[in-house]
Structure 1
């Protein structure tokens, strides 16, 4: 799945040439100088562009869920479908374009993959809920 994330990111962000952008996972919140936004797929992004070095960085944190049966307290990452990755990376690309390149704010894609969850959302097991970030209506900030 990592190849899908980086492949889609590289495909879109190469359009910001001559600036070189990288995608980096993080487990810690970035400093105050970073722009932060989140998407409905329970992932949070922070970005920064350094004009002096012609480089930018997008950090992301994926939120997981604890197993209801194992009760280990460990958060496991959710399964990502390629079309969800394409949607989320496209939203990040558009948001970075708005902040740093003057894009008119494009509409946020909020569509979700069709499916029937077996269980209701359990906020006791949700990492994003535990960190105060899980909401029914997520939006970019």
Structure 2
């Protein structure tokens, strides 16, 4: 369950009503929301947010500037609908760690939803959009800039493990639903990428052996006749 869901809903309504007071929009959480898996008429938007996590087993807390949030939005005038999924992360220290939901500050929620409303205006209403700050998207956290260039632990990121790739340095992206390319999915999942690399190494090993045998064979084929020639010349007194 998303923490502070009431704040999410209230903030979204405040922002969207400023722009579309005569249209009714709803925001709902969908834990089963998948990348590029929705139906006709939906627009997809991914946002990287800044949030805090806390392990429910050991109590360890950490901060991430690569918290993936997936939105699907659809307009059927005068009604609009947004589905949202916050992807979790798990503790690096606990072997049996659970995936923990991100905890956003009120400023962070304002920033995320400000960007969402901007995408709604752009993608659903085909409008020229103002800057994010004009939508009330204030700075999520003074520490975000310091953490945005840090490394991303893809092994413990729910989004990365599911193929919703979290780039280390990236702006939010929106797109129309597209079929998921199998090659992109493999590149997005660290576990499968490692398996692919291991397989490549196994395939390359026999080739290296064959190349070494070929080099040795060529060396023997050249050296032995040379030795024979030198022995014959020595016996005949030429050398």
Shorter-chain TM-score category? 0.7 to 0.9
Q: Report the Cα offset of residue 74 of structure 1.
A: 3.0
Query: Aligned pair in 2 of structure 1 residues 111, 134: CA closer, same or farther (>3 Å)?
Result: farther
- Give me the TM-score of the superposition, normalised by structure 2: 0.52
Q: Work out the CA distance in 2 between the residues paired with 1:17 and 1:102.
A: 17
Which residue of the other structure, out of 1, 11, 16, is the alignment partner of 1:8? 11
Please give the per-residue CA displacement for 1:11-31, whole angstroms capped at 9, x wherever unaligned. 112231322100011122252
Which residue of the other structure, out of 93, 103, 126, is the alignment partner of 1:79? 103
Q: Which has the higher contact order (CA 8 A, sep 6+)?
A: 1
1:113 aligns with 2:145: no
Q: Work out the CA distance in 2 between the residues paired with 1:107 and 1:80.
A: 22
Q: Report the Cα offset of residue 121 of structure 1.
A: 3.0
Q: Work out the CA distance in 2 between the residues paired with 1:12 and 1:112.
A: 16
Unmatched 5+ stretches in structure 1: none
- Give me the TM-score of the superposition, normalised by structure 1: 0.83
Query: Aligned pair in 2 of structure 1 residues 110, 40: CA closer, same or farther (>3 Å)?
Result: farther
Task: Kindly report the root-mean-square deviation, in angstroms, between the aligned alpha carbons of the 2 structures.
Answer: 2.4
- Structure 2 counterpart of 1:31: 38
Please give the per-residue CA displacement for 1:84-116, whole angstroms capped at 9, x wherever unaligned. 100010011111011222321444579552336
Aligned length: 138
Query: Aligned pair in 2 of structure 1 residues 106, 40: CA closer, same or farther (>3 Å)?
Result: farther
Unmatched 5+ stretches in structure 2: 50-67, 175-239
